[in-house]
Amino acid sequence: MTDSPTRNENSVNTIITGTGSYIPTRRIKNDAFLENEFFDDSGNRLKKSNEEIIQKFAEITEIKERRYVTDDLVASDIAHLAAEEAIKSAGIDKEELDHIIVAHNFGDVKHGTNRSDMVPSLAARVKHKLEIENPGTVAYDLPFGCPGWLQAVIQADYYIKSGDAKKIMVIGAETLSRVSDPHDRDSMIYADGAGATILEARESETPSGILSHNVRSDTKVFAKMLYMDTSYNPALKEKGDIFLKMHGRKLYQYALTNVPKAIKGALDKSSISIEDVSHILIHQANGKMDDAIIERLYKLYGKEEYPKDVMPMIISWLGNSSVATIPTLLDLMMKDELKDYDIKKEGTLVFASVGAGMNINAVTYKM
């Protein structure tokens, strides 16, 4: 039997020391979809007018506009731009990085095609673009649905606390605009973007940084909530191109049922009460859904209401950029670019995400 650590023993903590993001310059407002031809999954034209479809979409998702990359950029390009910002923010030597982990789902998709290109890995491409010479900087990718960036953070925490690494860069980058079906109304949800984070080892007497995590993967019933299939437009089916699809209503209910419990599980592991949470940085998937998730979370603690400033949101103007939503949100908050949401220097954050798989994860973080 070993004695429990005494209070004056230092422990290794995983601390976020730098953030960066790339927000594409092309602003696509909802009225850009007025000329689209929308079909259902049976190939029938939707009977409602596009004005009605777009209005209902905005009410459900709270998305008014989203960002798309310009034709000359791919996911590894914007991942590199976010990475440069994060390295500068952390003030580190890029050659000291032990790992570069890039979370994505579709690799590099060039303008004019929806085909994935991920050989070599996006992480290898980012390391190349950064001109890092150190062979000890291990670069690899992590496809894990929308929770990919957060899952990579969890892996980085394991590396650091095991003593295997001291500095790790985690990036989330995606160009969903190039894999979405323009004839599917769900395509209005998707956006492009990249966010990067530097995590470093720090010793302290008291716990800080990443305190706990909780992950679940429900594949037996829910594996195909998000999937790839041909266009809803019958005229394009023979072409054979496949696009991102989802069972929206089932996914919505799955998230409402399981994400609150996953978040509570992470909080329970770190013995943090809901009252001590400063902000919940949740994957920006659907505004109304995220509201409902947080409402249900607080009800698990017997609370009928939750603080209105607890959940910062950027989905209304950036859309759903998958793995990039949380690191982009974090970067904007760390740089004081969200005036209504100040990160408290002594506060506790919760990160949470849900997506294809179906996968859910949550992390508690002490500032």
**pLDDT, tens only, 157-203:** 999 999 999 999 999 999 999 999 999 999 999 999 999 999 999 99
Do residue 56 and residue 192 come from a single domain? Answer: yes
Give yes or no: residues 266 and 193 share one domain: no
Is residue 35 assigned to a domain?
Answer: yes
Three-state SS letters, 188-213: HHECEEEEEEEEEEEEECCCCEEEEE
Q: Is residue 2 part of a domain?
A: no
Measure CA 283 to chain center: 5
Q: Is the dihedral of CA 163, 165, 168, 174 positive or negative?
A: negative
**pLDDT tens-place string over residues 46-101:** 999 999 999 999 999 999 999 999 999 999 999 999 999 999 999 999 999 999 99
- Name residue 275's amino acid: E
Report the DSSP pairing between strands 359-366 and 348-355.
Answer: antiparallel
Task: Point out the domain boundary residue: 153, 174, 204.
Answer: 204
Q: Are residues 312 and 299 in the same domain?
A: yes
pLDDT at residue 9 in the model = 66
What percentage of the chain has pLDDT greater than the value 70? 98
**Is 5 inside a domain boundary?**
no
The answer on 32 and 171 residing in a single domain is: yes
> What is the model's pLDDT at position 10?
79
**246 shares its domain with 361:** yes
Pure H helices in 305-355: 315-318, 325-334
**Paired strand residues for 355:** 359
293 and 200 co-located in one domain: no
Read off the pLDDT of residues 255-275 as tens digits, 9 standing for 90 and up.
999 999 999 999 999 999 999
Q: Which of 143, 177, 204 is the last residue of a domain?
A: 204
**What single string gives the DSSP state of each residue in 272-290?**
--GGGEEEEEE--S-HHHH
* pLDDT score for 354: 98
| Residue 7 scores a pLDDT above 50 | no
Instruction: Classify residue 88: in a domain, yes or no.
Output: yes
From CA 46, how far away is CA 33, in angstroms rounded? 14
Residue 3 lies in a domain: no
pLDDT by residue (tens digit) across 128-141? 999 999 999 999 99
The H-or-E segment that residue 12 falls in is strand 11-22
Are residue 175 and residue 285 in the same domain, yes or no?
Answer: no
How many CA atoms lie less than 13 Å away from 211 in the CB half-sphere? Answer: 22
Judge whether 69 lies within some domain: yes
Residues 165 and 271 in one domain: no
**Residue 194 domain flag:** yes
Burial of residue 117 (number of CB atoms within 10 Å: 0-12, 13-18, 19+): middle
Domain that holds residue 303: 209-366
**For residue 3, is pLDDT > 60?**
no
Last residue of one domain, picked from the residues 204, 225, 241: 204
pLDDT tens digits, one per residue of 284-299: 999 999 999 999 999 9
Q: How many domains does the chain have?
A: 2
**Residue 177 included in any domain:** yes
Residue 137: other Cβ atoms inside 10 A? 20
Mean pLDDT across the stretch 95-116? Answer: 96
> Within this chain, do residues 317 and 171 fall inside the same structural domain, yes or no?
no
Taking CA atoms, 161 is separated from 91, 153, 166, 190, 210, in Å, by 22, 12, 9, 35, 10
Tens digits of residue pLDDT in 318-353: 999 999 999 999 999 999 999 878 787 778 999 999
CATH at residue 31: 3.40.47.10
User: Is the Cα dihedral 126, 127, 129, 130 positive or negative?
Assistant: positive
pLDDT value for 356 = 96
- Per-residue confidence (pLDDT) for residue 255, from 0 to 100: 97
Residues 144 and 222 occupy one common structural domain: no
Same domain, yes or no: 324 and 264: yes
Whose CA is closest to 352, among 316, 312, 319? 312
Do 272 and 345 sit in the same domain of this protein? yes
Give, for 330, the enclosing helix (H) or strand (E): helix 325-334
